[in-house]
């Protein structure tokens, strides 16, 4: 059961955190959409548009999030393959390959995890801390998605 004693001021602060996360997801949508228009290969452009659509889904889920629930819920642990931590970052460009795109996506998700984890360490409010932990867990799931693609498609093709 969700506590009703969360004050409106705290709810407003938590909504600001979610708004920040929504902005970050929109930045990801814009990033993938932009590079989809720059790559030379039609198939890769299509894959980038799929990733942009996935980020739109993340953004839309955040828009619907009930902060009263999200601030007290416990995130499920997410497996971490740690692939992004051991790959060199790729820079986006028109000649990118599928492995380049997956690499960029893994690193962007890792950056989001680090951002939310670090922000969670900076706040003292337990509800805000929990909110950042939950956002980091969500990003871990996104990173795992791309790491599995790397493991299944990129590593097996080399």
pTM: 0.86
For position 115, which CATH number holds? 1.20.1260.10
Rounded CA-CA distance 45/53 in Å is 12
Each residue of 124-144: pLDDT tens digit?
888 888 989 999 999 999 999
Query: Could you tell me if residue 124 is inside a domain?
Result: yes
Examine residue 1 and state whether it is found in any structural domain, yes or no: no
Looking up tokens 């999030």 gives 65
Domain presence at residue 2:
no
Structural domain boundaries enclosing 72:
8-157
Q: Specify if 3 maps to a domain.
A: no
The total of structural domains in the chain comes to: 1
Question: What is the radius of gyration, based on Cα positions, of the chain?
Answer: 17
Considering the domain boundaries, does residue 65 fall inside one? yes
- Please say if the pLDDT value at position 157 is more than 80: no
């Amino acid at each position: 059961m969700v506590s009703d004693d969360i004050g409106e001021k705290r709810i407003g602060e938590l909504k600001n955190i979610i708004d920040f996360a929504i902005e970050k997801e929109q930045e990801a949508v814009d990033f993938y959409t932009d590079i989809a228009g720059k790559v030379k290969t039609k198939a890769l452009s299509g894959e980038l548009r799929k990733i942009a659509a996935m980020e739109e889904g993340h953004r839309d889920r955040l828009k619907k999030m009930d902060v009263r629930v999200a601030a007290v819920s416990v995130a499920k642990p997410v497996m971490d393959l740690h692939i992004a931590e051991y790959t060199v970052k790729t820079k986006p460009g028109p000649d990118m390959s599928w492995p380049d795109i997956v690499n960029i996506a893994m690193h962007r998700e890792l950056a989001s995890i680090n951002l939310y984890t670090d922000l969670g360490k900076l706040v003292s409010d337990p509800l805000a801390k929990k909110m950042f932990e939950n956002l980091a867990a969500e990003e871990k799931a996104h990173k795992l998605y791309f790491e599995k693609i790397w493991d299944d498609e990129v590593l097996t093709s080399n």
